Amino acid sequence: MDKLDELRERIDETDNEIIKLLAKRQDLVKEAARRKAEEGSPAWTKEREAYLFKSREEMARKAGLPEGLASDLVRRILRESYGSSLKGNYPCLTKGGRRVVIIGGNGGMGRIFSEYFRASGYEVVAFGHRGWDKAQEYFKGASIIMITVPIDITEDVIKKASPYLTKDMILCDLTSVKAPITDAMLKWHRGPVIGLHPMFGPDVPNLVKQVIVTCSVRDPDKTAFLSEQFRLWGANVIECDPREHDKAMGIIQALRHFTTYAYGVFLSQIHPDLKQVMELSSPIYRLELMMVGRLFAQDPRLYADIIMSSERNLNLIQKYVQALKPELDLVLSRDTEEFTRRFLEARDYFGPLAGKFLRMSASVLAKLQDER
């Protein structure tokens, strides 16, 4: 026992040294963040991150450490490092006026963009439905007008804002539906128009590696700086046609949210003991249940707006529900051979991505199991 106690003491001392080194690294990261802001470098780049993973894994291999250990550590350390990305100021990339008007700026998404614009030296004016009596004052000298309100009233707000718009103002929105909204902006505004869809919620700690979809539908040369501004904040900017965007979102959001909603409602009807279910579940099911619970912890109107935002979404969901009947019949008939055939047919559709997703999910589930 004396020898074991001695070894444990040495382990504690080593861990203490590791903690000190992590603190030292964090200080260096903060200094690097300040330098990047001064130089106008992005808060995050895929190339730098890839280099860190590759080089640290090589260092770990030479030190005789298990494969993947260094990557796990680096990934966790980087997450904390990215958390410091908003601590400094960013360059302001606009060549015009610095005033940004955010209609709906008091909501979750509005607050995020207000914070980042201010960190970049912009003058931000944010107001909601009670601020229209001062609209003339707010819009004067503005270069960017951003609309972030519920989908069902976005077009009405665009129309309401139109008398205050000048042709040199950039008009943009943050809704999850792009084709009808960009069409409305083009109808009610003569100047540059760009549709935006942040693929994250208002609970994100920062924008590093968060996806922002851009739909540049008029004067893209005048709105290009916005995409670069988002990249400086660390975002992953993806340009997309508005209609192609909406088609993809039907699968990514509407169909996925509907199935999650329906599953959660069904659970509430059969009323299982969720605590017991969680205790008995595997990591993969716990993760699935967490995603269901996450949806019901948020605003129901937001999800209703997304799911019911277009006829295309409704038709897709209807097609999905209708497709479940043959699969149910197959299971009820206990036809293992036909089940296997359909399973393998679907596997062929996923191709190499199936194996890649298996490896990626294994990494996520290992972390989830560690927290059990």
- In degrees, rounded to 5, the angle at the alpha carbon of residue 261 between the alpha carbons of residues 255 and 267 is 135
pTM of the model: 0.83
Q: Give 187-237 pLDDT, tens digit per residue.
A: 999 999 999 999 998 888 889 999 999 999 999 999 999 999 999 999 999
pLDDT of residue 126: 96
pLDDT of residue 302: 86
Q: Which of 96, 197, 95, 199 is CA-nearest to residue 154?
A: 197
CB of 324 closer than 8 Å to CB of 263: no
Q: Is 236 helix (H, G, I), strand (E, B) or coil?
A: strand
pLDDT of residue 85: 55
Q: Is 111 exposed, middle or buried (0-12, 13-18, 19+ CB in 10 A)?
A: middle
Tell me the pLDDT band of 75, cut-offs 50, 70 and 90.
confident
The pLDDT tens digits for 238-248 are: 999 999 999 99
What is the pLDDT of the chain when averaged over all its residues?
92
Which pLDDT value is given to residue 45?
A: 85
Residue 88 confidence (pLDDT):
55
In whole angstroms, give the CA distance from residue 337 to residue 24. 59
What tens digit of pLDDT does each residue of 296-324 get? 999 899 899 899 989 999 999 999 999 99
Alpha-carbon span 172 to 263, nearest angstrom: 35
Q: 160 or 96: whose pLDDT is higher?
A: 160
